[in-house]
Amino acid sequence: MLDPARIMERCDALARHSELPGGLTRVFLSPQARAATDTVLGFMREAGMHAKLDAIGNAAGRYEGSRAGLPCLMLGSHLDTVRDAGKYDGMLGVITAIECVHALNASGKRLPFAIEVIGFGDEEGVRFGTTLLGSRAVAGIFDRQALAATDAAGTTMQQALLDFGLDPAAIPRVARKKGEVLAYAELHIEQGPVLEAEGLAVGVVTAINGFSRLRVTLRGAAGHAGTVPMRLRRDALAAAAECVLAVERVAQGQAEVVGTVGRIEAKPGAINVIPGEVAFTVDVRAPQDELRHDAVAAVRSEIDSVCRKRGVDAAVETLQEFGSTVCSPWLMQQMDEAVKRQGLRVRRLPSGAGHDGMALKAITEICMLFVRCKAGISHSPLESITEADAAAGAKVLLDFIEHFRLPA
């Protein structure tokens, strides 16, 4: 029997392992991460799993199938948090997966495949500025150069692993081979307001959005705010204002594309000087790479035309790009069926935030189930879910696990 109250209690219990008094901050390889990981390993063993800490600091549990050594259905999420975080982002997926195994074990049920649950040690990338470390190691795409990365105190990841009692040289052995993992399924809070707006407890994820990040620098002419007539100005900030609205317009023009200017800086930055130079960032995300590329091209062309009209020079630089991770249609289908069997309406939606599945995709096919969160808030102490929604998510996940099969 699934016990939703236990899911909530365990999320509360993990949240107490925090370096932030009165709040929740738990970063990769910290003493608090160690305590939380040990707690999770205990939950796994209690659920009938063989559990161990792996060489990158993941909590890894295995529940054998009808015979030992079968390939697995992998479930999981992450145990690290952002600073001043909520207690469900990541942890809910790990705790719920363990709860599902607990239910199988309690009824003595073995499936024609093993189940592995992993609580990834790092997904958020807070400590070393590089994300998905736990899932990259499992997927065999851990970049050893990351070991030289340092945290704010100057400690290298290599040293932090050693301090945690781990052997960095053993990280390659964490990697799973293709074929050992039949699929990866992750339950996670939505981190957006769509399910709440539609009155739904759960949603089936179609893709983890890819993103493009640009830095745009506009150069006009600085001048005296009192003496230069309006028609002779080349105001870089006024041009930037038009560009910001253009980013919004482009994103609004295509369902599922989102575009954001999150940072802007004007120089010289004085009340009585016309801004001569402005730099701003653009973040564009979409569930399909083609949609995103089209949106970025449209943004670039709008910036060009604004700047041509205003006699301002524009330099647009791509800072970072990551392709979208598409959830496998056959897995989404099976998740849809589980949702329906639980008497719920099927709602598919893309994920605007990144998740461990992005890394796991290198060795297996992935799917995700979203659980509604209050007001779509995450990465905040205000992050909140109801026990009823935790129950709905757990029921759907367990149903999915029990009916899981490879496509014919």
Closest contact distance (angstroms) between CB of 316 and Zn ion is 31
Give just the sign of the alpha carbon dihedral 98, 103, 104, 106.
positive
Cβ proximity to Zn ion, 331 vs 358, nearer residue: 358
Q: Work out the burial of residue 313: count CB atoms within 10 Å of its CB; fewer than 13 is exposed, 13-18 middle, 19 or more buried.
A: middle
Closest contact distance (angstroms) between CB of 57 and Zn ion is 16
Q: How many CB atoms lie within 10 A of CB 155?
A: 15
Closest contact distance (angstroms) between CB of 315 and Zn ion is 34
Q: What Å distances lie between residue 366 and 86, 298, 362, CA to CA?
A: 25, 31, 10
Cβ proximity to Zn ion, 92 vs 312, nearer residue: 92
Closest contact distance (angstroms) between CB of 378 and Zn ion is 8
Closest contact distance (angstroms) between CB of 190 and Zn ion is 11
Which of 303, 368, 297 is CA-nearest to residue 331?
368
* HSE, side-chain direction, 13 A CA sphere, residue 386: 11
Which of 49, 135, 134, 58 is CA-nearest to residue 100?
49
Cβ proximity to Zn ion, 4 vs 354, nearer residue: 354
End-to-end CA distance of the chain: 30
Which of 139, 136, 116, 117 is CA-nearest to residue 125?
136
Q: Which helix (H) or strand (E) holds 114?
A: strand 114-120
Binding footprint of Zn ion on the chain (CB under 5 A): 89-90
Cβ proximity to Zn ion, 80 vs 283, nearer residue: 80
Quickly list DSSP for 30-93.
Answer: SHHHHHHHHHHHHHHHHTT-EEEE-TTS-EEEEE--SSTT--EEEEEEE----TT--SSTTHHH
Closest contact distance (angstroms) between CB of 208 and Zn ion is 11
The span from the CA of 74 to the CA of 180, in Å, is 10
Six token digits for residue 60: 């890894």
Cβ proximity to Zn ion, 61 vs 90, nearer residue: 90
* Residue in the block written with tokens 């964490």: 174
Cβ proximity to Zn ion, 139 vs 250, nearer residue: 139
The span from the CA of 243 to the CA of 220, in Å, is 14
Biggest CA–CA distance in the chain, Å, is 84
Cβ proximity to Zn ion, 89 vs 277, nearer residue: 89
Cβ proximity to Zn ion, 92 vs 279, nearer residue: 92
Cβ proximity to Zn ion, 90 vs 350, nearer residue: 90
Closest contact distance (angstroms) between CB of 51 and Zn ion is 21
Closest contact distance (angstroms) between CB of 113 and Zn ion is 25
Closest contact distance (angstroms) between CB of 275 and Zn ion is 38
